[in-house]
Amino acid sequence: MGHDCDEHGEAEPQGAHGGEAWRQQGGGADDLDDSCQIAEFLPESDLMKDGHHLVAAPQHPLAAHTGPIPSDMLAQHVQLVLTDRSDLSIGREFGVMSATTWRIADLGAKHAFLRAGLGWGSMPLNVVEADIAAGALMALRFEDGPPPGGFIMPLSAVYPTASPPGPAGRWLIDRLKLEARG
């Protein structure tokens, strides 16, 4: 989560994912360790954790499969993958389970593609919960994977320690931590 100030000096939070969020804050590849985790000098690394569901549209062939889906069946279908817009994770794969992928840089576009039946993929629970309840998307279960909602993605605040957030940014970080505790 980054921030810019508007003409009144008020913080305007910005969101990004992966290496793009890191790049927007002035980080470079030398500041990441081998697992692509943010280097230890950044303090707010785990604000909350977000459950993800593996989903497909009801008309997608994987949605019709009963029981856990074998990994060889996955290879026959396109997985929609949220891609990192930066070059910081080149050559690294996160959560890719299919041999055939379409890389999409926007979560909203990925959601629309999933609803249209163009592939299957992982989505944050808060984004697809209503779709699953309404039958517009189906939660999938894989032989070698966790149960629906079992993929956990951490939400982190990223800022240089030399330039910590001001009062508005600090309030937002504290609020996210409070919300995560329920």
Q: Provide the pLDDT for residue 59.
A: 97
Sort strands 120-124 and 101-104 into parallel, antiparallel or unpaired: unpaired
Q: Provide the pLDDT for residue 29.
A: 46
Q: What is the pLDDT of residues 46-92, one digit of tens each?
A: 676 777 888 999 999 999 998 899 988 988 899 999 887 666 666 66
More confident call, 2 vs 166: 166
Check residue 85 and report its DSSP letter.
S
Q: Provide the pLDDT for residue 128.
A: 94
Which residue shows structure tokens 């002035």?
Answer: 26
Q: Is 138 exposed, middle or buried (0-12, 13-18, 19+ CB in 10 A)?
A: buried
Tell me what the mean pLDDT of segment 20-42 comes to.
45
In the predicted model, is pLDDT for residue 19 greater than 60? no
- Round to whole Å and give the CA distance between 117 and 60: 5
Q: What is the pLDDT confidence band of residue 24, given thresholds at 50, 70 and 90? A: very low
Average per-residue pLDDT for the chain: 74
- Round to whole Å and give the CA distance between 176 and 174: 5
Q: Are 122 and 113 in contact (CB under 8 A)?
A: no
What residues have CB less than 8 Å from 75, skipping those under 6 apart? 98, 99, 100
Percentage of the chain exceeding pLDDT 90: 28
Q: What is the pLDDT of residues 118-153, one digit of tens each?
A: 999 989 888 999 999 999 999 998 887 766 666 777
Q: Are 175 and 19 in contact (CB under 8 A)?
A: no
What residues have CB less than 8 Å from 69, skipping those under 6 apart? 62, 140, 141, 142, 143
Greatest CA separation found in the chain?
A: 56
Going along the chain from its start, the domains and CATH numbers come out as: 2-44+157-181 (no CATH), 48-154 (3.40.190.290)
